[in-house]
Amino acid sequence: MHPALVVAVLSTVLASVKAQGVTCNATSACPASAPCCSEFGYCGNDNFCLGGCNPLHSYSLTSCRSAPLCEDATHTFADNSRILSNSTYYDGNSSAYDWVVDKGSIFNTNSSGGELALVLTEDNGGTRLSSTKYLHYGTITASLKTGRWSGVVTAFITMSDIKDEIDWEFPGTATTEAQTNYFWQAVVPLDTHGTTVKDLSDTYSNYHDYTIDWQPEALTFSIDGNVVRTIQQSDTVQDGVTQYPSTPSRIQLSLWPAGINSSAPGTVQWAGGMIDWSDPDYTSAGHFYALVKSVQIKCGDPQTPGENITSYVYGTNSSTDTPSITFTNASTLINGAAGVYGVAVKVNGFLTAGLLVAALLAQFL
């Protein structure tokens, strides 16, 4: 995901950020008074402790609320009843909503069984939709139609709380192409991991099924059931560290403005140039858009969660090089109950230690 989209979403939380006023990063964790490090690197409470909260930069590994457990699902959009249109009202209850709008706006076409439209206007800075449940390995297929305008990027990605990321992206006017990429903990490699798939039928006019098949041993990208790229986990080792996405992630769908004055020149070029807000498509409709018909999710947890498991947390031996994931029965709600046990889950060959007791420190949440 490019910095321009991060900046756009960040603008929606600036008021809260100013109130908290404390930043967090790999060398400066959050204080107990504002224990949760948000996805934008600011410390706070309440919503700061939900999706995107980075446990490695928070006051403790258990300051963030636990991440709601994956569930197999096929999401269609006959209406928007399962989408919370304002993420600031989200309290961590993933049973109430499947998706939250982090930034921007959506509408439903109510045609062909219903399609979800992601909207970009000159004023809204783009739209990003995030799943309320997480995925710790598995297969996701999004059926979508992209934008077709210079500087406008359509994206379907997974993003973890420590910024492991897997991408399908569709920049600008390149409507016969699709791009794949992946990142480990937001590290941008000297040699890009990105590739381009060419010779597709028009991605604006036609629905295609874009698949991310993310497994512990390999990451596979497919279009309409045809494999176009595979990355082996064993090929991602750098200086003894496996730089492969391995942590629970949310699914995100977005339409965002890369071709704007605040974007880096390279980003603008990648996206096909500056956005033309006088484009006839924009002036007639009042917006640019991308359409989503469905999202299918098949969970692939390395171990089967127990009957009472609700969520994922980072294990007590987690570090940047060796993040470990544990199952827990802790509440995912703001001010919810702490968990009393966990189940070890292997991540990149590492096994977490056994029990999670009252270390979920509810007093800090």
Residue with tokens 């059926």: 143
Paired with 312 in beta bridges are 67, 327
Q: Is 217 a catalytic residue?
A: no
d(CA 126, CA 315): 35
Looking at residue 308, its amino acid is N
Name the token pair of 73.
């699902």
H or E element in which residue 230 lies: strand 226-232
Asked if residues 301 and 70 have their Cβ atoms less than 8 Å apart, the reply is yes
Asked if residues 34 and 318 have their Cβ atoms less than 8 Å apart, the reply is no
d(CA 136, CA 138): 7
Helices (H), the chain: 3-10, 14-20, 265-270, 280-285
Q: Which of 115, 122, 165, 307 is catalytic?
A: 165
Q: Which of 122, 169, 177, 307 is catalytic?
A: 169
Looking at residue 347, its amino acid is V
CA 360 vs CA 28, 60, 162, 207, 337: distances in Å: 21, 9, 19, 44, 9
Q: What angle do CA 294, 295, 299 make, to 5 degrees?
A: 155
Q: Is 177 a catalytic residue?
A: no
d(CA 171, CA 254): 12
Query: How much of the chain is in helix, strand and coil states, percent to nearest 5?
Result: 15, 35, 50
Name the token pair of 250.
């949310």
Residues noted as catalytic: 165, 169
